[in-house]
Amino acid sequence: MDALSVSHVSKTYRQKKKGAVPLQALDDVSLTVKPGEIHGLLGPNGAGKSTLISLIAGIIRADQGKIEVFGVDVEKETEKAKVLEGIVPQEGVYEMAFTVREVLYYFSGMYGVPIAERNPRIDKALEDLALSDKADERARGLSGGMKRRLMIAKALIHKPKLLILDEPTAGVDVALRQKIWELVRRLRDEGTTILFTTHYLEEAEQLCDRITLINHGRIIKEGNLKEIQKEFSKNVISFELFDRNVPHLPNVTPEGSEFHYPMKELEADMQAIASHYNGNLKSVRSEAASLEQIFLTLTKD
Amino acid sequence: MQNLTPVFALVAREVKRFQKIWLDTVVSPIMSMILFLAVFGVVSGGRDVAGIPYLAFVYMGLLTMTMVNASFSNPAFALVIAKNVGTFMDLQITPVPPWGVGLAYAFAASIRGIITLLIALLATVWFIPISGVANPLLLIVSVVLIGVAFGMLGVIFGMYAKNFEALTFVMTFIIQPMIFLAGTFYSIKQLPGIWPTVSLFNPMHHAVNLVRYSVTGYADSAPMVSLAVMAVFAVAIFIPMQWITTRNLKAS
């Protein structure tokens, strides 16, 4: 059984403005997340990531298609599916007047955690997220990083089987990002399935077992990151030039200080590059395509 | 059987929330009531209504008004605040069913209404010529019913309203006229023409009538009819509350 199964889901938003064209946020989207994996959902702004997360969380209704979390239909058995999910939204969401402990106490109750179990779970979550000394402070007084950790504690307090993180490291410092990565890996090792969206492709490369690339509401690539990289790395030769302003071979694209050449056959193409650029060639290599290169290639309009 | 822990937890969270801001939620309405009583105490000049001192008569209306205002505004403002600061998402992602969200807010509203009523009572009853409670059981049933019913009305408007302006509009143009035309400050029997009959269609009249009858033994209209009307009002209002809550928690 898949941890998450999204099958042929479409979603169009009607526009309030009269005569405005409806916005198709998702178009026949299907993806699966296997139990125990870290799955990255990547895409540019407006690609449909947040809509997909909202559908999985049961916050909005799909126009068509089916979403199942560990075999539970999100549309038909919404409450049952929600118990299986833990959501970390992009923005901090908590009662301003409550202390950290109170936020977690009532939130865990809303997930059905019995009263007797709440405080031990809160203590554990606060310890895991290095917030124990802030337990009795008001949530609104926490620093940005602590608020982000509180949001993660909220999502974990009922021990979800599927943890959904919507850009969990956006705007956090490097040290906290590393801690969040550590936590995500540990949760995966303990058996929690993780779906997260991110803008940081390096983060996806570091963490994800599998990724899904989404653009304009459609899935454009899904699979094992290493396999995708392998697929794309066959096709790229990267080189640097002493003088960049020279006539280029067809299909050469600049990226930073480098140029990329779509490769068909390594030896012949290397020779073509060497003879075309001759003494102007500073370095040349064939390497695994970075996720950034793959992302840019696939999302190029 | 459905696990009710999420619903009870939400009730507890809402009670905790209004306890945290008790100056706004409890003290302010009591101050308003004391001011009303001071004014009515001065102007009543020893008049009575159907043999009851006017101050005692209007006191029951004021207590009911204070409680209704507290019960209505608690969920209404809490939900609009939640939408504005983002905590509404807590309701959307947790497994509290829509009926549970609506009823949790309504019960918490009822608790706030009753606490406000009790504190108002303790703060002012010493100055009012009342000798006792005529029908304590009916008073308890009525107070709970009124709190839950107007709490559900507050949920409806809280779910509907996107901002505080919309709520202020509702308070000014719906709730306040309901209170002032309910016989809160006068007996509806004193009204001319068809207005006594029109007042019978105002649920607020039946709320005031029930509380007044329970304490003083005087009623403008049959108390059991008022009890039935409040019960029907509470059941009837559950339907639109359930509809709008479901719609808000899961947008189409």
Starting at the edge strand that comes first in sequence, how are the strands of the sheet with A4-13 ordered?
Answer: A23-33, A4-13, A64-69, A72-73
**B209: Cβ–Cβ under 8 A, 6 or more apart, which residues?**
B183, B219, B220, B221, B223, B226
Distance CA B203, CA B223 (A): 13
Mean pLDDT over the full length of chain B:
89
- pLDDT in the model for residue A47: 86
- pLDDT in the model for residue A297: 73
User: How large is the average pLDDT for residues B210-231?
Assistant: 92
Q: Which parts of chain A have pLDDT scores under 70?
A: 230, 233-234, 287-290, 300-301
- For residue A230, the tally of other CB atoms under 10 A from its CB is 12
- Strands A236-241 and A193-197, by their bridges, are unpaired
In the Cβ-directed half-sphere of A88, how many Cα atoms lie within 13 Å?
A: 28
- pLDDT in the model for residue A283: 87
Tokens standing for residue A160: 């979800």
Between B91 and B252, whose confidence is greater? B91
- What does each C-alpha distance from A92 to A143, A148, B78, B95 come to in angstroms? 11, 7, 18, 19
- pLDDT in the model for residue B1: 52
Which of 9-28 (B) contact A at CB < 8 A? Answer: 9-10, 12-13, 16-17, 20-21
In the Cβ-directed half-sphere of A123, how many Cα atoms lie within 13 Å?
A: 5
**B214: Cβ–Cβ under 8 A, 6 or more apart, which residues?**
B133, B134, B135, B136, B138, B139, B142, B223
**pTM of structure:** 0.84
- Strands A38-42 and A210-215, by their bridges, are parallel
Positive or negative torsion for Cα A119, A125, A131, A133: positive
Q: Is the pLDDT of residue B83 over 70?
A: yes
Give the ipTM: 0.86
CA distance A22 to chain B (A): 13
CB contact under 8 A, A106 and B13: yes
- For residue B243, the tally of other CB atoms under 10 A from its CB is 14
- pLDDT in the model for residue B2: 63
Which of 60-119 (B) contact A at CB < 8 A? Answer: 85-87, 89-90, 92-97
What is the CATH superfamily name and number for domain A4-229?
P-loop containing nucleotide triphosphate hydrolases (3.40.50.300)
Q: Is the pLDDT of residue B239 over 60?
A: yes
Residue boundaries of the structural domains of chain A: 4-229, 234-299
With beta carbons under 8 A apart, name residues in chain A contacting B20. Answer: 97-98
Closest-approach residue (CA) in chain A for B22: A97
With beta carbons under 8 A apart, name residues in chain B contacting A93. Answer: 85-87, 89-90
CA distance A54 to chain B (A): 9
Determine the residue type at B102.
Answer: G
With beta carbons under 8 A apart, name residues in chain B contacting A83. Answer: 95
Of the candidates B17, B90, B97, the beta carbon closest to that of A93 is on: B90
Of the candidates B12, B89, B252, the beta carbon closest to that of A89 is on: B89
The DSSP code for A132 is: G
- pLDDT band at B122, cuts 50/70/90? confident
Q: pLDDT tens digits, residue range B164-177? A: 898 888 888 888 88
- pLDDT in the model for residue B155: 96
User: How large is the average pLDDT for residues B13-31?
Assistant: 84
In Å, the largest CA–CA distance within chain A is 76
With beta carbons under 8 A apart, name residues in chain A contacting B8. Answer: 109
- pLDDT in the model for residue A251: 83
Q: pLDDT tens digits, residue range B39-56? A: 887 777 677 887 888 888
Interface test with A, best of B16, B90, B249 (most A CBs within 10 A): B90
